[in-house]
Amino acid sequence: MVGEDWGLIVLSFLVRVGFFLFGIYQDANFKVRYTDIDYFVFHDAAKYVYEGKSPYARDTYRYTPLLSWLLVPNHYFGWFHLGKIIFVILDLITGFLIMKLLNQAISKKRALMLESIWLLNPMVITISTRGNAESVLCCLIMLALYYLQKGKYTMAGLLYGLSIHFKIYPIIYCIPMAIFIYHRMRKEGPRAQLTALLNIGVSTLVPLLGCGWAMYKMYGYEFLDQSYLYHLYRTDHRHNFSIWNMLLYLDSANKGNGGSNLSKYAFVPQLLLVLVTGCFEWWNPTFDNLLSVLFVQTFAFVAYNKVCTSQYFVWYLIFLPFYLSRSHISWRRGILMVTLWAVTQGIWLSQGYYLEFEGKNVFYPGVFVASALFFLTNVWLLGGFITDLKTPVPLAMAGKKNN
């Protein structure tokens, strides 16, 4: 790694240290805490594990037990913030992997700028230093893709399966990944193609089924219900940018009294989009395009998900540097897209503040209109990303990539 890359890593580390220390100060001196509410849930669940109990004894803990195990050192060493350091380290490793995977054909200056989208992104830094665990998942996904690019399908599958165990949504990547491997092994013949696909398939199932079986044996049906099934029937409406927000709120208020069943079918348009965008890899089966396809696929998944909070944006931000490395979108249009995304998100956050901190009844039209504006903006952005993704790569650029 050249000096500029190390400089960026060091700078991003120092910035995270600053955010981390300020967060401790804010928690001690301000009414509004810096630490994410989810981190308190992780920390409390880890305490139950440390005491030999189930992490699900902590109300609202709805994750794999492995996450609570990761924070057991909080209680062993007696320091509440230790888990955040683990998340920050994984956050930095993710940034390092982005550096390793970025297309080497682009200029060093542009590469550094794209790497900064993750390493110096205030949203990414805030999420990890506040104690949100998304960096664990992001690191697993990027590690899996790193080994996939190297052709080490067993290791890629093991990491990919573990990422699905942590949160089930990465399963959507199986289609474009399979397409990539199929085309990559075409010259070796059908037997090599089948062997490679079976290799990564079986190695994915080993940690996925193995961890699932082990957790089920330890914690029973509660593990399945809280880690996976809950996300099918959840009706979270707080901090939710989704267009389904209002309907989820009404359904949660009408539990036991009938109500709409429409929210149960929220996954239908989401599933269709995820399947269609995943197949875009077929028309340009390169690794660079795979990373761009994963960006568009994840963006569609998050935009149409019935629950959408700020940390979900990190799911597609890990792929944004790769997408921009081959994008044809002009900088003017890019600025417009970012501005609309930020402004409509800000509108929703203002309404969310009035609702949750000042107790004002702004569900309608405030929160509803803000959710609709943000959703429509994301749909427009998604259309632009798909159009851009389908634009052929110039021959000159394609030649560089093949060298």
Q: What's the length of the chain? A: 403
The predicted pLDDT at position 289 comes to 95
Give tens-digit pLDDT for 67-108: 999 999 999 999 999 999 999 999 999 999 999 998 666 788
Start-to-end CA distance of the chain, whole Å, equals 20
Spatial neighbors of 164 by CB under 8 A, at least 6 apart, are: 170, 171, 204, 208
The predicted pLDDT at position 268 comes to 87
For residue 337, the SS3 value is helix
CB 204 within 8 A of CB 161: yes
How many Å apart are CA 56 and CA 226, to the nearest integer? 8
Place of tokens 């699905």: 164
Spatial neighbors of 170 by CB under 8 A, at least 6 apart, are: 137, 141, 160, 163, 164
Name the nearest CA neighbour of 156 among 134, 171, 140: 140
Q: How far is CA 86 from CA 20, 82, 83, 321, in A?
A: 12, 7, 5, 24
Question: Residue 184 has which token pair?
Answer: 């990559």
> Number of H helices and number of E strands within the chain?
21, 0
* Arithmetic mean of pLDDT over the chain: 89
Give tens-digit pLDDT for 332-363: 999 999 999 999 999 988 888 777 767 777 77
In the predicted model, residues of the chain with pLDDT beneath 70 are 1-2, 103-105, 232-239, 249-263, 357, 393-403
How many Å apart are CA 304 and CA 352, to the nearest integer? 20
Burial class (CB in 10 A: 0-12, 13-18, 19+), 218: exposed
The predicted pLDDT at position 280 comes to 94
Burial class (CB in 10 A: 0-12, 13-18, 19+), 242: buried
The predicted pLDDT at position 398 comes to 45
Spatial neighbors of 295 by CB under 8 A, at least 6 apart, are: 316, 319, 320, 322, 323, 385
The predicted pLDDT at position 251 comes to 66
